[in-house]
Structure formats: C-alpha cells, structure tokens
Amino acid sequence: MNQCFSIAQANKSSLNSETIYPRLIVRDYLRDSSIWNSFVHRKTDIAIASCYKSGTTLTQQIVNLLINGHDDFDHLHDLSPWVEHTGDPLDKKIEQISKLPDRRFFKTHLPFEALPYHPTWKYICLVRDGRDVGMSLFNHVHALTPEARLTSPVNLYKPSSDFGEFWDEWIETGKPYWNFFEFINSWLLVRHFPNVLLIHYNDLINDKPTQLEKLARFLKIKLDSHQKDMILYKTSMEYMRQNAEKFEHQDFEKHRFIYKGTNGRWQNLLSARQIKRYDNLLARKIEPDCTNWVKNGGTLAKIIYTPPQPSPSTRRKPEKSQISLACPRYSGDTREVNR
C-alpha cells in the first residue's frame, strides 16, 4: 500500500485511521523505534527531534515553559522522556507516559520516517552544523563519569581521545552514534508539512526571542511580554547550569552534559582536508538548496509542490480531494535498520 503522506486526506479522519505508521524501524544499542507504538497517542502530542547535540534540552525547556509556565519538576526527563531510549524499563516508561498531562512533549533522536505520523501532532526538529555537532559530540562522549564508562555502550566503539581521529570516523559512519546526514535529510524532506518546524541551532542561540515567538506561533500558544521575559531567563545558559540537576544526566560529569553551547570550536582543530570532506559529503547527501542552511541557519529554502501536468487533451480542473501535500520519496516500504 502506498503510504505517501497525504495531509489533505488524513485531516478528514479520526486519530486511529489517520495514523501513518513508521516506514523505518530503527534498533541499535540506544534506540528502539517500535516503543513509539507501545503507548496510546493523543492528538495534542509534540515530538522534539534532533540528531544529537543540537539544542534538544534547551528546546524541551522552552516548550515546557510555553505550555506549563514553570519548571517545577525534579528532572526534565520526567516530564519529557526520550521515548525510544532502550536504557529505561519499558513498562515503567509506558506508565510514565500515560500519566503525563496534556500537552505532552517527547524527546526523540529518530529520523522522521521512523516516527508515527499524525497530522494533529506537532514535530519540531533542531538542526546544527555538522562541524559543531561533531565537536560537541566529542566532548559529550568523553564526559562520562568513571562509573558510567564501565557500563556505557558507547565504549563498545572505543571513541578516540584525539579529536581528528574521532572526527574522521564519525563523519563517515556516525559512530559511536548514528549518521548525521541521513538524519538531517529525513527531516529536510518534510519541511513543507504544516505541522513540521525546523529550527537551526545558530538561530536559536543568536536570536532566541525570534525563535521563541516562532515556536509559540507554531504551537498556537499566546505569548505576552512577561512570559517571554521569563522564558528567556529560564532558558539562558547561566540559569540552566545553575539548575543543572533539572537538566543534566547522572552519567555525565557536572556541567559537561550542558557544556558551552557555543559554535565554531572546531575551527582550529579540523584540517583543510577534513573541512573539505565535510563539505563534499554535505553536497552529496543533502538537498542542494539546503546545504548552506545546514551550515549557517537563516532562511530555509521551501519545497514548491508542482503536481504533474496532464496532456492538453486530458487537462481538467482537479477535484479538491485530489490535491495533497505528498512526499513522493516515501513509497511506503517498511525497512529495518540495525546498527
């Protein structure tokens, strides 16, 4: 069955019948995408996605403050769990998710086609220049506490302590996690969907007020000046580091999970050869109109949907039911990826 995304048709259905289930199954040592099918979905659910090290925790806090107006929680994970993470007991996770109040907002590191699709859901994806992602990931995997290093599956790959060596393997394979380019492209392909919002990390940290307003509009949440000031304060690096116990993971050294949050630290560490290799991979694997945006942010090129034109002899005005925002690159096949 063809499962191209037809928003116009899906919007007419109930939640169950309009659901388009994942075409891609992802299973690796950190993720199992099938967990997303293990709990009852709600029409108001929100998915906050990133490849990794791209502002996920910051955006979770922004969305929390937009919805709830406070951060009176012990840990952000309790309010916004990483759904597909295999490190948590499944029964406890499902119980936790079922008890969360509306609106629920979940963390994910899955490509778009590995998530269930609901036209009433909101999907937010954070994107960051791969050079900054690689630099931040290097610091991340080497920030595990001595105790966590003994059991962390990351150590299966024995990531190099030399950034240049680490980079060369990561840029080609995604190790010790998953491929950066495949993830980014999966979300770029659906950037025209009305319930999908892509935000670049550069824009988020350099012009947070504008991105905050954009998120509020996307989620249809009214934002006054008092709320805006409160959210900007409680999403500052200073505030989040002062309240690290709410945001950081216990497996990481203090202030290393939320580290510097700055860009460009790769500039004196990557060679000209390594930068050229990144540019070549970006040009080869990412849509040409989007490569500059992936590196710098700013204005993201739109997808212009042009329906096939019939021959003059058969030309007629299409019926309303025939018009849809379809994604022809998704043919409905279900694939499984084990890494």
For residue 127, the model assigns a pLDDT of: 98
- Taking alpha carbons only, the member of 47, 208, 193, 199 closest to residue 127 is 199
Question: From its phi and psi, is residue 69 left (phi > 0), alpha (psi between -120 and 50) or beta?
Answer: left
**Cβ distance 327 to 189 under 8 Å?**
yes
Distance CA 282, CA 173 (A): 14
Task: Tell me the pairing of strands 24-27 and 46-50.
Answer: unpaired
- Taking alpha carbons only, the member of 332, 329, 334, 33 closest to residue 178 is 33
Give residues with Cβ within 8 angstroms of 108, minimum separation 6.
36, 47, 48, 49, 82, 83, 84, 115
For residue 334, the model assigns a pLDDT of: 43
The pTM assigned to this predicted structure is 0.82
Give the number of other CB atoms < 10 A from CB of residue 36. Answer: 19
- Average model confidence (pLDDT) across the chain: 83
Q: Which fold has domain 7-338?
A: Rossmann fold (3.40.50)
CA distances from 215 to 97, 124, 210, 293, 298 (A): 23, 9, 9, 19, 15
Per-range mean pLDDT, top range of 159-168, 210-219, 243-252, 315-324: 210-219
CA distances from 97 to 92, 106, 111 (A): 9, 9, 21
Per this entry, what is the length of the chain? Answer: 339
- At residue 245 the predicted structure's pLDDT band, cuts being 50, 70 and 90, is confident
**Cβ distance 108 to 46 under 8 Å?**
no
- At residue 291 the predicted structure's pLDDT band, cuts being 50, 70 and 90, is very high
Residue whose structure tokens are 């022809």 = 328
- At residue 323 the predicted structure's pLDDT band, cuts being 50, 70 and 90, is very low
- Domain ranges in the chain? 7-338
For residue 119, the model assigns a pLDDT of: 94
**Which has more pLDDT, 12 or 267?**
267
